[in-house]
Amino acid sequence: MKLISTVFVLVSVDALLADGSKIEANHGENVTLPFPMDKAEKADRLRIIFKEETTKNLSLISQKCVPHEGCAVVDKSGVSVLVGGECVRVTIHNVNISRSGLYIAQAFFGNNVSEVKATLVVNKAPVSSSPAPPHSSSSPTPLSSSDLHWLYALIPVFIIIIIIIIILVFCCFCRRRKASSQKQSASDDEGARETPAVSRSSVSTERIGKDDCVAVAMNGCGEHPEALLTSS
Residues 168 and 114 in one domain: no
Residues 157 and 105 in one domain: no
Is 204 among the domain residues?
no
Is 215 among the domain residues?
no
**Are 119 and 104 a contacting pair, CB within 8 Å?**
no
Is 137 among the domain residues?
no
Residues 90 and 179 in one domain: no
Residues 49 and 115 in one domain: yes
Instruction: Determine the Cα–Cα distance for residues 177 and 170; give it in Å rounded to an integer.
Output: 11
Is 156 among the domain residues?
yes
Residues 113 and 172 in one domain: no
Provide the number of structural domains found in the chain. Answer: 2
- Per the structure, the complete domain to which residue 80 belongs is given by 2-122
Is 57 among the domain residues?
yes
**Are 118 and 33 a contacting pair, CB within 8 Å?**
yes
CATH value at residue 31: 2.60.40.10
Residues 23 and 112 in one domain: yes
Total count of residues recorded for the chain: 232
Give the pLDDT confidence score for residue 157 in this predicted structure: 87
Is 197 among the domain residues?
no
Q: For the chain, 232 residues long, give each residue's pLDDT as a single digit of tens.
A: 443 344 334 333 333 333 468 899 999 999 999 999 888 888 999 999 999 988 889 999 999 988 877 788 898 999 999 998 789 999 999 999 999 999 999 999 988 999 999 999 999 887 766 665 555 555 566 666 777 777 778 888 889 999 999 999 989 888 888 888 887 777 776 766 655 544 444 444 444 444 444 444 344 444 444 444 444 4
Is 226 among the domain residues?
no
Residues 20 and 117 in one domain: yes
Is 228 among the domain residues?
no
Give the pLDDT confidence score for residue 85 in this predicted structure: 77
Give the pLDDT confidence score for residue 158 in this predicted structure: 85
Is the pTM higher than 0.95? The answer reads: no
Residues 69 and 181 in one domain: no
Residues 88 and 36 in one domain: yes
